[in-house]
Chain A
């Protein structure tokens, strides 16, 4: 009888721990849901300043890439899709057109 009582007490104790854990998880889920809603709102309403910042960043990266290709061409390598990376002899119409287009 004593053994059974002890076992039930242990189960009761485990259940209460589990319940406590579920409660804490519930709080965490509520917090995550709130954050998610907040982020979704932020995403839908990106400010013009942010857009401009992102575009500026993209342009900077593109400019850097173009400069790198220009440098590669100046150093004597093809940047056109036909001969990309191969040593250049003189100049190449297709590299020139590619760099001019970008």
Chain B
């Protein structure tokens, strides 16, 4: 393999695929990045067997070939290369990086041992609007569970039913739901996509107008620009999320998003480090205002926020982190809060937007 490229080319390839490099696997070769020089250009490829990312870069290929290089070291080397033209030559499993009048030799793995990231031969192809899908990911991915006791909650349920697309995530304490339209789509799909994959899609999708997804029963491939993201679907049944979304409410509030976020962030300063580690914030809603009176051994905060209120007065306790997380992704000036009491799930949604909601279950005292 002989290629001529720039530092920018290598940096772009490494940065794109590096997060798919396995950090936990016992297979040493999965800690590598595969470089394949072909007639099309230079492919960078990494996988942890759950998620795989590939990118094709149009560089000058003098001689075709393949190498697998240790990801962390190669990335460090690339970041420290000078901004000059670079020539890479392989010899066996190793490569020589020539720059200026110097060279860096790097030992690699046997490319034959690297697992192949197979295409989906006869899957349905669905076209998604890039910016909309990216926004849907942003609105939902934060509510996924982190711990892996129930794998279905570590992913997002992607449902495509003809012209409707929805993403749902929950960690059983909160639930985020976002929907949109897929004009002209006739195909259907339902699957649970790992949150790590969605985070990568969110990171990598630029302002491309569309991204294509190719689906099968167990895998999905996202194609956009010159990047491919392959992922396994999470096996299992996503619970019936519709039954947890309240259809009625006794109290409806319209609140300034920014002011509420600031207030909750200030109040959580006193509760996040308390001995209970619950990070509780209590809203006393009465007479068109939210009162927050928080105290701990560290101090006391007393705030009042004017709101528009319809319905009964109520006092509710929340995990402050959940409220902060959701308010950070609501882009409208005002947020609607609907509740039916201190033990019922609260629905938060942006003003004038029926396509998104986030449900948070209050804390029981």
Residues of A that sit less than 8 Å from B by CB: 74, 80, 82-83, 90-94, 96-97, 100-101
Contact = CB atoms under 8 A, between A and B. Distances in A.
A80 B278 CA distance: 23
Given A90-B319, A91-B173, A91-B361, A96 B345 contact: yes
A87 B178 CA distance: 30
A97 B150 contact: no
A93 B363 CA distance: 11
B285 to A, nearest CB: 19
Interface string B47-84: 00000000000000000000000000000000000000
Q: Main SS of chain B's interface residues?
A: loop
B26 interface: no
Contact of A82 (B150, B173, B345): B150
A83 B173 CA distance: 13
Interface in B307-365: 319, 343-345, 359, 361-364
Contact of B345 (A80, A93, A101): A93
Given A82-B172, A83-B150, A96-B343, A91 B364 contact: yes
Nearest to A73: B364
B175 A93 contact: yes
B226 interface: no
B173 A90 contact: yes
Given A82-B239, A83-B150, A101-B243, A93 B172 contact: yes
Nearest to B364: A91
Contacts of B345: 93, 96-97
A15 to B, nearest CB: 72
B363 A90 contact: yes
A100 B247 CA distance: 12
B170 interface: yes
A93 B173 CA distance: 6
Interface centre among B243, B244, B359 (most CB of A within 10 A): B244
Contact residues on B (Cβ < 8 Å of other chain), bracket: 10 to 19
A93 B319 contact: no
Nearest to A90: B173
Task: Give the 9 A-B CB pairs with smallest separation, nearest first.
Answer: A97-B244, A93-B244, A91-B361, A92-B172, A97-B243, A93-B361, A93-B172, A90-B173, A91-B364
Interface in B241-257: 243-244
B174 interface: yes
A101 B243 CA distance: 9
Contacts of A97: 243-244, 345
A30 to B, nearest CB: 58
Contacts of A92: 172-173, 361
Contact of B244 (A74, A83, A90, A94): A94
Nearest to B242: A97
A66 B243 CA distance: 18
Contacts of A93: 170, 172-175, 244, 345, 359, 361
Interface centre among A74, A83, A97 (most CB of B within 10 A): A97
A95 to B, nearest CB: 8
A101 to B, nearest CB: 7
Nearest to A97: B244
A72 to B, nearest CB: 13
Given A90-B173, A94-B172, A94-B244, 14 more contacts: A83-B172, A90-B319, A90-B361, A90-B363, A91-B173, A91-B361, A92-B173, A93-B170, A93-B172, A93-B345, A93-B361, A96-B244, A96-B343, A97-B244
Nearest to A96: B361
Contacts of A82: 150, 172, 239
Contacts of B359: 93
Contacts of B239: 80, 82, 94
A3 to B, nearest CB: 85
A97 B344 CA distance: 9
